Amino acid sequence: MALYLGVMSGTSLDGLDIALIENEPRVSLLASHYIPMPETLRLAMLGLCASGPDEIARAALAEAEWVRLAAQGIRHLLDAEGLSPEDIRAIGSHGQTIRHEPARGFTVQIGNPALLVELTGICVVGDFRRRDVAAGGQGAPLVPPFMMRCSTPRASVLQCSMSAASAISA
């Protein structure tokens, strides 16, 4: 059984969605967990969507807080499902988009995969949008390739999160 986690937060900044999926023999959503975004973190992320004073330091601090929140949610989901980090093959983490201008050749997500590895003990794959922009794409949407592989309506509940996890096993 190949188990993966997908982590995603969207432009609404309302929270993080975490999905546990099995990818063999078909993609199946096994469990999910939602964590509301703390208001202080939401405001910090919104403040990073435009240039401002000390934005690199502010981005690093917000990123670390986002990753700690994701790690907390991952631990909660694993505990609820009776799983350990060793049971998970990898985490697909989109991070949080703070600037997205593919016409100018860039997109910026924060999410520090290295810190997420340290906090969870699980391999992390990320930076999906930048890879797509580097290849000449728009960096979005990330969902259609995953949805082509889904076989049940239930699997679409957290399609964005699972898209990340699905991408690393393809």
Joined tokens for residue 11: 């432009």
d(CA 79, CA 85) in angstroms, rounded, equals 10
**pLDDT of residue 158 exceeding 70:** no
Q: Which has more pLDDT, 141 or 112? A: 112
Hey, which residues does 9 pair with through a beta bridge?
16
- Residue 58: pLDDT band by 50, 70, 90 thresholds? very high
**pLDDT of residue 1 exceeding 80:** no
Residue 168's pLDDT is 42
**Contact at 8 Å (CB) between 64 and 51?**
no
Residue 133's pLDDT is 87
Residue 133 CB neighbours (<10 A):
20
Residue 142's pLDDT is 62
- Phi then psi dihedrals of residue 40, to 5 deg: -65, -40
Strands 3-9 and 90-93, how do they pair? parallel
